[in-house]
């Protein structure tokens, strides 16, 4: 998946965040993990993941990526889950986009959706 953004957010250099792209949280299904609607989620692509990581995944027939917690079973099989009990097994149509390495409130959260879309596109 290629993520395109025509704008930037300047972060303080002392934060030293290593990330590949940013997505905006939609919905409240991860609120139990401190991820609220509108938050900016900084995603880092990795080769390896650990149980408990919060990751962004996408399936070839989905429009947007979703966030899930990762659990790696003793067999090596990966499953993705949310606090509300939804479980998705890893299969060929699901791609792991990366791990959430940082999250912050969106400075544009209180603007209209049109203004937010103008900012990000």
| DSSP code per residue over the chain | -----S------GGG----SEEEE--SSTTGGGT--TT-EEEEE--S---TT-EEEEEETT-SS-EEEEEEE-TTS-EEEE-TT--EEE--TTEEEEEEEEEEE--TTTTS-HHHHHHHH-
pTM for the model: 0.76
pLDDT score of 30: 84
pLDDT score of 3: 44
Arithmetic mean of pLDDT, 28-56: 90
Residue ranges per domain, the chain? 19-108
pLDDT score of 8: 65
pLDDT score of 2: 44
Band the pLDDT of 72: cuts 50, 70, 90: very high
CATH of 19-108, one of 3.40.50.720, 3.40.50.360, 3.40.50.880, 2.10.109.10: 2.10.109.10
Band the pLDDT of 105: cuts 50, 70, 90: confident
pLDDT score of 114: 54
Does residue 117 carry a pLDDT above 90?
no
């Amino acid at each position: 998946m290629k993520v395109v953004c025509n704008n930037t957010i300047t972060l303080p250099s002392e934060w030293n965040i290593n990330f590949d792209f940013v997505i905006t949280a939609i919905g409240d299904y991860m609120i139990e993990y401190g991820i609220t609607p509108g938050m900016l989620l900084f995603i880092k692509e990795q080769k390896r993941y650990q149980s408990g990581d919060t990751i962004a995944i996408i399936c070839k027939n989905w429009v947007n990526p979703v966030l899930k917690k990762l659990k790696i079973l003793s067999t090596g099989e990966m499953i993705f889950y949310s606090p509300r009990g939804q479980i998705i097994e890893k299969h060929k149509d699901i791609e792991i986009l990366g791990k959430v390495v940082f999250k912050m409130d969106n400075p544009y959260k209180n603007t209209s959706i049109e203004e937010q879309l103008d900012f990000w596109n």
